[in-house]
Amino acid sequence: FMLLREREQIEVETVALLYPDANDAIRESAELLEDLFRREELADVRGASPVSVRHFPLKGLEDVYSEATCTQYAQGVRDAIVALQAQHQDHQIYLSLAGGRKAMAALTYYAAQQAGLRHVWHTVISDPAVETRVFSETVARSLERLDRRARAERLFLRAYAADDAAFSLFRI
């Protein structure tokens, strides 16, 4: 979100969160993100007014661990993209391969192709020390000890401003 806004000058009006619904930790993380996107008092951290959030919980799915769950995941992502395309016909969809397992990223890319998206976005952190820090500071157990503003500063990357050059955003 932040890298699209700040580096690509893309104004994001709606964020769609796709996640396995039967995984409590992931579902709770999606709810946390929704709260941070919608709060007016966090506009300065986001660099934007509150953002609309749509949830696309992949019902009955906890993880991708078999051919059947991979198929279910890919179909759910494709269905979500198609629904967003139908609802936002006059807008470009910017799909990020953030979070999840490698298999989920591959399946998300496949679903995007099936839905007709020309490209997806991916972020990498080039400095291993920064990457380790970001991952350790943005896991649920680290975030739950923080107040709302500190959570937002980490999740919207403000806490890592000094390491901005380590973050790369690119189209695939």
- Write the pLDDT tens digit of every residue in 137-151: 999 999 999 999 999
Handedness of CA 86, 88, 89, 93 (dihedral sign): negative
The packing angle between helices 148-155 and 128-138, to 10°, is 150
Residue pair 88/77 in contact by the 8 Å Cβ criterion: no
For the cut 80, the answer to whether the pLDDT of residue 99 exceeds it is: no
Residue 126 backbone dihedrals phi, psi, to 5 degrees: -75, -25
Write down the pLDDT at residue 98.
78
Q: Could you tell me which of 23, 82, 85, 84 has the C-alpha nearest to residue 57?
A: 23
The mean of the pLDDT values for the chain is 94
- For the record, the structure tokens of 66 come out as 């078999």
Residue pair 20/62 in contact by the 8 Å Cβ criterion: yes
Handedness of CA 137, 139, 142, 147 (dihedral sign): positive
Residue 121 backbone dihedrals phi, psi, to 5 degrees: -115, 150
For the cut 80, the answer to whether the pLDDT of residue 100 exceeds it is: no
User: What is the Cα–Cα distance from 6 to 156, expressed in whole angstroms?
Assistant: 11
Q: Could you tell me which of 24, 25, 22, 47 has the C-alpha nearest to residue 37?
A: 47
For the cut 80, the answer to whether the pLDDT of residue 116 exceeds it is: yes
Residues, the chain, total? 172
Q: In sequence order, which residues have a C-beta less than 8 Å from that of residue 40 and are 6 or more positions away? A: 49, 50
Residue 49's pLDDT band (boundaries 50, 70, 90)?
very high
Residue 36's pLDDT band (boundaries 50, 70, 90)?
very high
